[in-house]
Chain A
Amino acid sequence: MVVANATTGIASPLKCALSLSQGFQGSTRRLQWRKNERQCVKKAGHGVITAKFDLKPPPYPLDALEPHMSRETFEYHWGKHHRAYVDNLNKQIAGTELDGMTLEDIVVLTYNKGDLLPPFNNAAQVWNHDFFWESMKPSGGGKPAGELLDLINRDFGSFEEFVKEFKTAAATQFGSGWAWLVYKANRLEVGNAENPLPSDEDKKLVVVKSPNAVNPLVWDYFPLLTVDVWEHAYYLDYQNRRPDYLSIFMEKLVSWEAVSSRLDSAKARATEREREEERKKNEEEENGTANSEAVEMYLESDDAVSD
Chain B
Amino acid sequence: MALRTLLTRKNLANSPMGMLGLRGLQTFSLPDLPYDYGTLEPAISGDIMQLHHQKHHQTYITNYNKALEQLDDAVAKGDASAVVKLQSAIKFNGGGHVNHSIFWKNLAPIREGGGEPPKSSLGWAIDNHFGSLEVLIQKMNAEGAALQGSGWVWLGVDKEFKRLVVETTANQDPLVTKGSNLVPLLGIDVWEHAYYLQYKNVRPDYLKNIWKVINWKYASEVYEKECP
- 1/0 per position for A236-256, CB-CB distance to B under 8 A? 100110000000000000000
The answer to whether A176 and B200 touch (CB under 8 A), given A231-B193, A240-B193, is no
Closest to B170 in A: A175
Please report the C-alpha to C-alpha distance between residue A235 and residue B55 in the assembled complex, in whole angstroms.
13
Is A81 positioned at the interface, with any CB of B under 8 Å from its CB?
Answer: yes
Please report the C-alpha to C-alpha distance between residue A229 and residue B170 in the assembled complex, in whole angstroms.
16
Residues of A within 8 A of B92 (CB): 174
Contact residues of A between 155 and 196, Cβ < 8 Å to B: 174-177
Q: Is the CB of B201 within 8 A of A231?
A: no
Residues of B within 8 A of A174 (CB): 88, 92, 171-172
Please report the C-alpha to C-alpha distance between residue A174 and residue B55 in the assembled complex, in whole angstroms.
16
Residues of B within 8 A of A95 (CB): none
Q: Is the CB of A84 within 8 A of B56?
A: no
Partner of A80, one of B51, B88, B171, B200: B200
Is A8 positioned at the interface, with any CB of B under 8 Å from its CB?
Answer: no
The answer to whether A232 and B201 touch (CB under 8 A), given A174-B92, A174-B172, A239-B55, is yes
Please report the C-alpha to C-alpha distance between residue A84 and residue B55 in the assembled complex, in whole angstroms.
30
Is A212 positioned at the interface, with any CB of B under 8 Å from its CB?
Answer: yes
Q: Is the CB of B196 within 8 A of A230?
A: no
A209 to chain B, nearest CB (A): 12
Is A121 positioned at the interface, with any CB of B under 8 Å from its CB?
Answer: yes
Please report the C-alpha to C-alpha distance between residue A212 and residue B88 in the assembled complex, in whole angstroms.
17
Q: How many residues of A contact B (CB 8 A)?
A: 19
Closest to A81 in B: B201
B44 to chain A, nearest CB (A): 15
Q: Is the CB of A232 within 8 A of B172?
A: no
Residues of B within 8 A of A142 (CB): none
Is A219 positioned at the interface, with any CB of B under 8 Å from its CB?
Answer: no
Could you name 26 residue pairs across A and B whose Cβ atoms are closer than 8 Å? A80-B200, A174-B88, A174-B171, A174-B172, A175-B172, A175-B191, A176-B149, A176-B150, A177-B149, A230-B149, A230-B192, A231-B191, A231-B192, A231-B193, A231-B196, A232-B192, A232-B196, A232-B201, A235-B192, A235-B193, A235-B197, A236-B197, A239-B55, A239-B197, A240-B51, A240-B55
Q: Which residues of A line the B interface, CB within 8 A? A: 76, 80-81, 84, 121, 174-177, 211-213, 230-232, 235-236, 239-240
Given contacts A232-B201, A235-B192, 16 further A-B contacts (CB under 8 A): A80-B200, A81-B201, A84-B201, A174-B88, A174-B171, A175-B149, A175-B170, A176-B149, A176-B150, A176-B192, A212-B149, A231-B191, A232-B192, A236-B197, A239-B55, A239-B193
